[in-house]
Amino acid sequence: MIGMAVKELLIEKQETFLIPAENVANVMYLNPLSHALLVLSQVKYSRIPVLDKGDRFVGLISLSDVVDKMFDLTKVDLEKLNEFTVADVMEVNVPVIREDWELENVLHLLVNASFVPVVDEKQRFKGIITRKELLKAVNHMAHELEKRNLVIPKTSDKESEMKVI
């Protein structure tokens, strides 16, 4: 469980956590892989959301997913990218969070991912929460915790802990 003093400082920056869907590069699951390669080569993320026609989140695609389809045993074949769609290679069963997300859940998911997709109750893509934005909040918290709180060391039989007042 996240301590209240830490949580309060982290969520002060909560409005900056979500990068709205309209600002996130994505591809449609029926797009050819050549289109995915073009989009992925132009954005700063190595993986991007995949949506269906109803703007519902269905998975993620990465540059390596696309590049793997370009190779055969003897050569690189860019034409092969037109033979496959994004749906053929995308990662499915990706953890997502709802719009009413809990900070602790987001922190756990961002341990293993650079971003977490945010969806509404109908699975419509609302945006992403990035590790970068959350780390900015951690940086803010690290600089403000002792300015705003009196931190007094406490000792217990098992270990030394910090108590925030």
Confirm if 20 and 115 have CB atoms less than 8 A apart. no
More confident residue, 28 or 150: 28
Rg (CA), the chain: 21
Lowest mean per-residue pLDDT among 31-35, 92-96, 134-138, 142-146:
142-146
Question: Which of 104, 103, 105, 97 shows the shortest CA–CA distance to 121?
Answer: 97
For the entire predicted model, the pTM comes to 0.83
- Per-residue pLDDT averaged across 9-18, rounded? 88
User: Residues 39-95: pLDDT tens digits?
Assistant: 999 997 889 999 999 999 999 999 999 988 887 667 777 788 889 999 999 999 999
Residue 151 confidence (pLDDT) = 79
Q: Which class would CATH give 4-148?
A: alpha beta
